[in-house]
Homo-oligomer: A and B are copies of this chain.
């Protein structure tokens, strides 16, 4: 029987762990005790099977792996979440640590349609990390954002992404913003011969997302940004299936969860179709995100996983230009460095962007020299 293996951390004592693991496998499937179930076929074919119980090497408690019959997920992006952690999330002694999908589930969910290779093709960048700047702040008019877009594009960045707070605001409607910004980038491309990819932020209910995706694609945005935990992972998955451009996932609302961040942001975002995934780099304004977590996350986004394409890690979160060299060393070439607020520190957005881009290029040359 094909199974999806899911690993939990259970904060319980050794003398209770076997029973607790069995309760978990029942809770996530039949929601019945064995005494109430009384059906050998269902026990065999439906109930999760506890496959491993090992002491957690990091703290008191156990890592428990449950193998669920693949059929119960219905190969459905929403149902999978319920099987993995639905009711268990309501119990404080459980955390969701990992998920190991069989090939058929990988194929059903599909993963990135562009991935690292597709983003390199879209930007024309080879042999070095991609560069990305965030367009902000919320509150500017379409024209004012377009002026900033123009300065950033002149600075030579590969991708210009909307802040994830840019919605369909009365003071800055979605369509007007995307049109102004895309045109600004186009004019710079006409002048310089170098066209940045504009990644328009999409936020809204599923029908609004579909409509805004269509508008962004029609206007010529080369990518879109979506926060999977704000729109919901199943809606994110559906949007990816509709998009003809790469989808960049933003981690908003993905923290503070009993789902381990490396699984959620590194594993599930990719599995559900993110071509690139933004996350806070260590040492910025998100102190939980230490170097070990960032390393795991980047590895997880890029490692070979059956038919699922690698996704591009996008470290961000308060990175200054002075940290570029260290980040290139840390992540290597297959990453996109995202610099946000620090580009805005004083007048001279274009010059600061250019410095950022140059530093990435220099660091990549040094790194490739060191590697050869």
- Which residues of A are in contact with B by a Cβ distance under 8 Å? 23, 27-33, 35-37, 39, 41-42, 45-46, 71-72, 74, 76-79, 81-83, 85-92, 94-96, 134, 136-140, 163-165, 167-171, 203-208, 227, 229-235, 237-238, 251-259, 280, 285-289, 317, 340-342, 344-345
Contacts and interface: CB of A to CB of B under 8 A. Distances in A.
29 contacts: A29-B137, A29-B138, A35-B345, A36-B342, A37-B137, A37-B344, A42-B137, A42-B140, A46-B139, A71-B171, A72-B138, A72-B169, A74-B169, A76-B205, A76-B208, A77-B205, A78-B208, A78-B230, A79-B204, A82-B167, A86-B230, A90-B251, A90-B286, A90-B289, A205-B237, A206-B235, A231-B232, A255-B258, A257-B257
A317 B41 CA distance: 25
Contact of A31 (B28, B165, B232, B253): B165
Contacts of A256: 85, 89-90, 92, 94-96, 257-259
A341 B31 CA distance: 7
Given A42-B139, A86-B253, A95-B256, 9 more contacts: A28-B165, A31-B136, A42-B140, A82-B167, A86-B164, A86-B227, A89-B255, A89-B256, A235-B235
Nearest to A71: B170
A235 B134 CA distance: 27
Residue from A39, A91, A238, A256 having most chain B Cβ neighbours under 10 A: A256
Given A138-B29, A206-B235, A170 B286 contact: no
Given A340-B31, A345-B36, A82 B164 contact: yes
A81 to B, nearest CB: 5
Contacts of A259: 256
B136 A81 contact: no
A218 to B, nearest CB: 21
B204 A76 contact: yes
A217 B138 CA distance: 41
A37 to B, nearest CB: 7
Contact of A91 (B41, B253, B286): B286
Contacts of A76: 167-168, 203-205, 208
B137 A82 contact: no
Contacts of A37: 137, 344
Nearest to A37: B137
Contacts of A204: 76-79, 234
A90 B32 contact: no
Contact of A288 (B31, B91, B163, B237): B91
Nearest to A171: B71
A168 B138 contact: no
A201 B352 CA distance: 53
B231 A234 contact: yes
Contacts of A232: 231-235
Contacts of A257: 89, 256-258
Contacts of A289: 90
Residue from A87, A140, A317 having most chain B Cβ neighbours under 10 A: A87
Contact of A89 (B77, B134, B254): B254
Contacts of A163: 31
Given A78-B231, A82-B164, A86-B253, A32 B136 contact: yes
